[in-house]
């Protein structure tokens, strides 16, 4: 049984694998609720369950304290509704090869300090070992032509997709070998576990039995702000610079413009950086003495070779030097990485990729992330989504002794999300076997608002693509609450119990958009953008779009049925929470360019602490036509449409509401968020009338998670029945062979033989 903590805090999540029976505490379990709902939970690291303690047993600061919730091993939850009158929950920790390497190098082991993985913001990595593939984001049902039964895929934004045996809930094989994917790190940076930048939401087509994904690379450009600061703080000038910084901060406490303060901090460290360069040292003096004759001679030499006859002679003599320079440049190129996007198509057997080029033949560039993809009958839709994986997000608390420095590091490197969405369309008919590139259509004008999640209707009559988008306006979905954050409303430190939680304080109201786009030109034909404030002066707010999170609809991701149209969408509104709004987020978005609600009104609504709600959107009218408001300390985490078995077809208007909305929840007993005793529940709503409230509530006291993300429904579970399989030892032997030295190859080979390969025996 999981560890008992009383009262159980908000961030409590067990890593223990469980099999539990859920009990009905309210209502009646519907007899026609069938199949299996899968949901993913983030469950901490090999070193820490959640909540992560601030101090280690020896009293020292825990380096993983402050790690975001999203940086955790994936724990898959399977809710089994297949037996009438009974609900079984089975959980499994997702354990790809990198998990066992992490376990072998966990805190307290011999080589932890050198090769052990560490949590850096939203990523877990080690320069020697590479990057963890935590498989904690989404579950995608598939059924390929060569498979005797459907199986699921586990996904992560920076890792290969993994096939899952839905019966045993064990991982089977990655999709694509290490050699099939292009790492997101420079070519010279060869690691056993390369970072693969892909999408957490690849798209499966149940009609053609194909999966579409992406593999993209981005040039790695460090910020001069952080470069200057880090260089100074690691030099002999660190103490002096830190004292000067404190003096500056004291003098700027009353400055209402944070941008001016940040600029002054930048100027301070720029000055110290220049001082560092000019600081005399024995090595610098020796270098000047030794190189003086060469520098002087070089000046004279340049004058001589400028003469016509000497210049021609020099071009012949200098050929070996130029050749050497070319080799040096090649080595430099190995330390750089271009901006490229490759579209991936997998049919259950063949893994194919094409580099995408826009209308001008230029390779396209992703500035943020391709968190989501979508498909229609004739097109693949890619969007540069507002979820970032950048320098400021690779910072936890590098200076735990000085939260001021940590806070400033983030301010100096952080950028707001782009306030629009660049969209690319790929004709599926252009994906030719044997080609290495494929043209795509970049929309001449971007979608006018940012998005993290969107969906496309499968049918695209007359090449007209219909997109439905959630616009999380002025929200940083990839940010989290840090140990040094200050609450915007109180001016006091953010509550410690929220450390690591998504920093989702609203700075404007979320919106829902419906767009019709010409697939051949990329031109916007129609657009409707809606939002709903509700009655924020009343305890019963009513339908609203404050803080939209996840959404669902019938056949949202199905291994059998395409979502031909999407007439209804159910979505959850988190509502502004006064404890979630930090000064950092406020400063990042106080001048948000797409603002609808004035900042003063946003702060007023936030102080009122709007409860969570479940809403249904009619996409024909773009109006909310049904709504249910939850009580205080009741938080929906995931929601999933589960269809009723029956004879209805899509031609029947009732087809799209004929089912249930299954929600995972975290609920607190008490009156205060920080001191409440939290437990988990599963609520079941009739999709046709959510305003009537849940028809059933299910609990088990040992079910213990803080947050669940994306979910999916399958009508059956099966043993993995596909010939597709990539042997782990073969896959990683090929990767280790790329190491530059035989010593590295030998050490990693021995490590894998001892700690990784035994967990993945050859397939029978």
Q: pTM to 2 decimals? A: 0.87
Q: What distance in Å separates the CA atoms of residue 44 and residue 67, rounded to the nearest whole number?
A: 9
Most confident region among 4-13, 475-484, 562-571 by mean pLDDT: 562-571
Backbone CA torsion sign across 436, 441, 446, 452: negative
pLDDT for the residue 248? 79
Which pLDDT value is given to residue 122? 83
**How many CA atoms within 13 Å lie on the side-chain side of 579?**
14
Of the two residues 232 and 109, the one the predictor is more confident about is: 109
For the chain, the distance separating the N- and C-terminal CA atoms, rounded to the nearest angstrom, is: 33
pLDDT single digits (tens) 174-201: 999 999 999 988 888 899 999 999 999 9
Burial of 546 (0-12, 13-18, 19+ CB in 10 A): buried
Give the pLDDT confidence score for residue 417 in this predicted structure.
87
pLDDT at 260 over 50: yes
* 164: Cα within 13 Å, side-chain hemisphere: 29
Q: Classify burial at 491, counting beta carbons within 10 Å of its beta carbon; exposed 0-12, middle 13-18, buried 19 or more.
A: exposed
The stretch 302-326 carries a mean pLDDT of 55
Q: 549: part of which helix (H) or strand (E)?
A: strand 548-552
How far is the C-alpha of 355 from the C-alpha of 358, rounded, in Å? 10
Nearest to 210 by CA among 365, 375, 391: 375
Instruction: List pLDDT tens digits, range 343-383.
Output: 999 999 999 999 999 988 999 999 889 999 999 999 999 99
CA max distance for the chain: 97
Strand 36-42 to 19-27 pairing: unpaired
Query: Tens digits of per-residue pLDDT, 430-486?
Result: 999 999 999 999 999 999 999 999 999 999 999 999 999 999 999 888 889 999 999
3-state SS, residue 101:
helix
CA distance 394 to 416: 15
What does the pLDDT average to over 39-54?
96
Secondary structure (3-state) at 342: strand
Pairwise CA distance, residues 629 & 541, whole Å: 8
**Residue 722 confidence (pLDDT) above 90:** yes
Residue 396 — pLDDT band, cuts 50, 70, 90? low
Could you report the per-residue pLDDT of 105-128, keeping only the tens digit for each? 999 999 988 899 988 888 898 888
pLDDT tens digits, one per residue of 151-175: 999 999 999 999 999 999 999 999 9
Contacts of 598 (CB under 8 A, 6+ apart): none
Please say whether the dihedral angle defined by the alpha carbons of residues 596, 598, 599 and 604, taken in this order, is positive or negative.
negative
- Average pLDDT of every residue of the chain: 88
Confidence check: pLDDT of 245 > 90? no
CA atoms within 13 A on the CB side of 99: 18
Q: Residue 171 pairs with which residues in a beta bridge?
A: 164
How far apart (Å, rounded) are the C-alpha atoms in residues 478 and 406? Answer: 18
pLDDT band of residue 289 (cuts 50, 70, 90) is low
Residue 305 has pLDDT above 50, yes or no: no
Residue 659's alpha-carbon distances to 253, 454, 646, 684, in angstroms, are 56, 22, 10, 10
In the predicted structure, residue 594 carries a pLDDT above the cut 50: yes
pLDDT of residue 671: 87
The pLDDT, as a whole number, for residue 221 is 43
Give residue 224's pLDDT: 43
DSSP labels, 146-177: T-SS-EEEEE-TTS--EEEETTTTEEEEESS-
Is residue 352 a contact partner of residue 365, using CB atoms and an 8 Å limit?
A: no
pLDDT greater than 50 at residue 225: no
Residue labelled with tokens 């460090």: 222
CB atoms within 10 A of CB 764: 3
pLDDT above 90: residue 29: yes
Tell me the domains of the chain and their CATH numbers: 19-220+337-714 (2.130.10.10), 225-334 (no CATH), 728-759 (no CATH)
Q: Which residue has the higher pLDDT, 384 or 503?
A: 384
Contacts (Cβ under 8 Å, ≥6 apart) of 123: 71, 131, 132, 158, 195, 389, 393, 394
Pairing state of beta strands 130-131 and 138-142? unpaired
What pLDDT is attached to residue 226?
45
pLDDT tens, residue by residue, 675-713: 999 999 999 999 999 999 999 999 999 999 999 999 999
pLDDT of residue 633 exceeding 90, the answer is yes
pLDDT attached to residue 303: 54
Q: What is the pLDDT of residue 753?
A: 97
């Amino acid at each position: 049984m999981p560890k008992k903590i009383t009262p159980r805090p908000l961030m409590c999540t067990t890593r223990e694998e469980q099999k539990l029976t859920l009990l009905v505490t309210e209502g009646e379990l519907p007899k026609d609720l069938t199949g299996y709902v899968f949901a993913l939970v983030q469950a901490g690291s090999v070193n820490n369950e959640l909540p992560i303690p601030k101090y280690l047993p020896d009293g020292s600061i825990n380096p993983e304290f402050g790690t975001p919730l999203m940086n955790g091993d994936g724990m898959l939850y399977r809710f089994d509704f297949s037996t009438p009158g009974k609900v079984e929950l089975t959980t499994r920790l997702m354990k790809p090869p990198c998990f066992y390497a992490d376990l072998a190098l966990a805190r307290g082991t011999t080589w932890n300090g050198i090769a052990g993985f560490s949590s850096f913001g939203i990523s877990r990595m080690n320069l020697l070992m590479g990057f963890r593939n935590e498989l904690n984001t989404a579950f995608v049902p598939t059924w390929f032509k060569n498979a005797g039964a459907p199986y699921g895929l586990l996904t992560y934004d920076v890792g290969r997709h993994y096939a899952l045996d839905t019966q045993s809930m064990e991982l089977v094989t990655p999709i694509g070998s290490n050699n099939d994917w292009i790492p997101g790190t420079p070519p010279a940076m060869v690691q056993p576990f390369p970072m693969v930048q892909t999408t957490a939401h690849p798209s499966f087509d149940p009609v053609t039995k194909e999966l579409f994904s992406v593999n993209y690379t981005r040039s790695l450009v460090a910020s001069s702000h952080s470069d200057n600061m880090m260089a100074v703080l690691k030099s002999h000038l660190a103490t002096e610079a830190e004292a000067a910084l404190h003096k500056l901060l004291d003098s700027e406490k009353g400055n209402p413009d944070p941008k001016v303060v940040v600029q002054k901090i930048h100027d301070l460290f720029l000055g110290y950086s220049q001082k560092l360069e000019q600081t005399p040292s024995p090595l610098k003096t020796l270098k000047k003495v030794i190189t003086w004759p060469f520098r002087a001679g070089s000046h004279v030499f340049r004058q001589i070779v400028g003469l016509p006859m000497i210049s021609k002679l020099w071009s012949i003599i200098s050929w070996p030097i130029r050749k050497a320079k070319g080799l040096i440049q090649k080595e430099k190129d190995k330390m750089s990485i271009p901006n490229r996007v490759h579209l991936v198509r997998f049919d259950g057997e063949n893994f194919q990729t094409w580099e995408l080029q826009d209308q001008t033949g230029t390779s396209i560039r992703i500035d943020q992330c391709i968190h989501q993809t979508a498909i229609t009958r004739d097109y693949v839709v890619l969007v540069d989504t507002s979820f970032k994986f950048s320098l400021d997000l690779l910072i936890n608390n590098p200076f735990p002794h000085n939260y001021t420095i940590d806070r400033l590091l983030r301010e100096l490197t952080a950028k707001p999300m782009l306030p629009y969405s660049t969209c690319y369309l790929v004709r599926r008919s252009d994906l030719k076997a044997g080609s290495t590139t494929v043209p795509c259509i970049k929309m001449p004008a971007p979608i006018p608002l940012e998005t993290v999640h969107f969906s496309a209707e499968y049918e695209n009559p007359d090449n007209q693509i219909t997109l439905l988008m959630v616009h999380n306006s002025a929200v940083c979905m990839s940010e989290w609450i840090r140990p040094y954050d200050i609450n915007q409303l109180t001016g006091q430190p953010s509550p410690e119990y929220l450390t690591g939680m998504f920093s989702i304080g609203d700075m404007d109201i979320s919106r829902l958009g419906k767009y019709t786009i010409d697939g051949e030109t990329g031109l916007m034909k129609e657009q409707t953008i809606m939002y709903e404030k509700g009655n924020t002066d009343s305890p019963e707010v009513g339908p609203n779009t404050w803080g939209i999170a996840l959404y669902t609809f019938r056949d949202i991701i199905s291994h059998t049925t395409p979502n031909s149209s999407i007439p209804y969408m159910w979505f959850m509104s988190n509502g502004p929470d006064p404890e979630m709004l930090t000064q950092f987020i406020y400063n990042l978005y106080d001048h948000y360019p797409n603002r609808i609600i004035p900042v003063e009104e946003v702060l007023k609504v936030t102080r009122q602490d709007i409860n969570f709600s479940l809403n249904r959107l009619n996409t024909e009218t773009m109006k909310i036509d049904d709504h249910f408001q939850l009580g205080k300390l009741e938080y929906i985490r995931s929601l999933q449409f589960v269809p009723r078995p029956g004879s209805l077809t899509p031609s029947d208007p009732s087809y799209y509401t004929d089912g249930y909305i299954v929600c995972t929840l975290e609920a607190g007993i008490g009156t205060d968020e920080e001191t409440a005793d939290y437990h988990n529940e599963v609520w079941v709503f009739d999709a046709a009338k959510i305003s009537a409230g849940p028809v059933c509530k299910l609990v088990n006291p040992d079910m213990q998670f803080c947050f669940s993300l994306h979910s999916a429904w399958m009508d059956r579970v099966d043993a993995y029945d596909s010939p597709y399989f990539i042997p782990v030892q073969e896959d990683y032997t090929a990767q280790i062979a790329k190491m530059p030295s035989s010593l590295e190859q030998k050490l990693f080979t021995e490590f894998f033989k001892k700690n990784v390969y035994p967990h993945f025996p050859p397939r029978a």
